[in-house]
């Protein structure tokens, strides 16, 4: 397991056997910090580094919906991230 700390946002690359637990950790962090502009910007930057087009988000309510939808797509394997 390789872990990178990007300011306060942690991303983890895991094998196929336990990546869902990592995704759940990300989702919990995302929802717990949705009110923090800086944290929202870090998740936007993370998705952009993986070539996933996302708007620059300011509104927490809108990003909660859009960010959750992206995490859902990852969980369903409709969106694949590469390390």
Q: Which helix (H) or strand (E) holds 26?
A: helix 19-32
User: Taking the domains of the chain in order of start, what are their residue ranges?
Assistant: 2-75
**Could you tell me the CA-to-CA distances from 38 to 4, 7, 46 in Å, in that order?**
18, 10, 12
With contact defined as beta carbons under 8 Å apart, do 76 and 70 qualify? Answer: no
Please identify every stretch of the chain with a pLDDT value under 70, giving residue numbers as ranges.
1-15, 57-58, 83
- What is the model's pLDDT at position 11? 56
Residues 6+ apart with CB under 8 A from 81: 50, 52, 74
- What is the model's pLDDT at position 15? 67
DSSP 2: E
Tens-digit pLDDT profile for residues 33-52: 999 988 888 888 888 888 88
Instruction: Say whether 75 sits in a helix, a strand or coil.
Output: helix
């Amino acid at each position: 397991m390789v872990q990178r700390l990007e300011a306060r946002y942690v991303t983890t690359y895991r094998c196929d056997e336990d990546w869902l637990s990592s995704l759940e950790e990300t989702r919990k962090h995302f929802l717990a910090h949705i009110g923090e502009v800086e944290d929202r910007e870090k998740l936007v930057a993370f998705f952009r580094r993986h070539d996933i087009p996302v708007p620059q988000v300011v509104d927490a309510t809108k990003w909660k919906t859009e960010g959750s939808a992206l995490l859902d797509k990852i969980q369903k394997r409709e969106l694949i991230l590469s390390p």
